[in-house]
Amino acid sequence: MADDGDYKRDQNYITTRITADGRDGYPVEPGRYRLVIARACPWANRAAIVRRLLGLEDVLSMGIAGPVHDERSWTFDLDPGGKDPVLGIERLQEAFFKRDPEYPRGITVPAIVDIPTGQVVTNDFNQITIDMSGEWAKYHRPGAPALYPEHLRDEIDEVNAKVFADVNNGVYRCGFASTQEAYEAAYERLFARLDWLSDRLANQRYLVGDTITEADIRLFTTLARFDAVYHGHFKCNRQKLAEMPVLWAYVRDLFQTPGFGDTIHFPQIKEHYYVVHRTINPTGIVPVGPDESGWLTPHGREELGGKPFGDGTPPGPPLDAERVPSPA
């Protein structure tokens, strides 16, 4: 936290990359690595979506931590015996300490762990999904979409930078601000950017180009949590997402697209934020609402044209072990 009350995110991550040529010592190999996520976390949710869309389930397994953690790290309390069945660990912290016994920073998801050594390779959420699109291309499913096409990368990067600063991280800057001034500044930036996004999306179905790209995935995971968490818990309350017609239709369009809504688990999302953030919610009471049924209502975005997967195809159904309940 800065002296002015502004929330400053620690963006120092383990930046080792898993690449096709193995230049960092970790070559792409089917079955060698395990992606660790938590359904609650928007940054990890991105990796789960990209893995689904590209069809990497058979070559990159996925461990799912529970929604609640303590100061030590995320835990595998959803698994039998409280241990990840592949890594054999109770806490993600163990994989970080195998890499660096004195690892000094936060234990974050998503993280990719080298199964043979049990060491974390990277927790650089920004690069993980880009590398799934590029470095893992040999193992993409037939019909996988181009989520980071070369001819659109500059525009995708530009949009992503704005969305990260004002929306993805902006909701946290609202929620964790420790002065009124810092909160109001973050609030104004957040809603100014949401208005900008509404204008951008009023006449085009997706953020960049006419298909789903990395930019849509990064915005989606924040918008999906907006009414359930950020509106109340983080005081982002000018409007609910459901009261912003363009963005509400846009996010429902994505939610109903295979690979998006089937990665969202609203009860775990709410449990994480409302239980873990005791400085904001001292009682730990988790709200019952909002009603989830609206996520499956018609959105009308097809009229804007565009094709979700371009010339590709939708992913198949989730693996049985990775299914989440659909909204009522």
* Residues flagged as binding site for glutathione: 74
Taking the C-alpha atoms of residue 224 and residue 33, their distance in angstroms, rounded to an integer, is 28
The verdict on whether 41 is a catalytic residue reads yes
Catalytic residue among 7, 26, 41, 174: 41
Does the annotation mark 172 as catalytic?
yes
- Binding site, by residue number, is 74
Catalytic residues: 41, 172
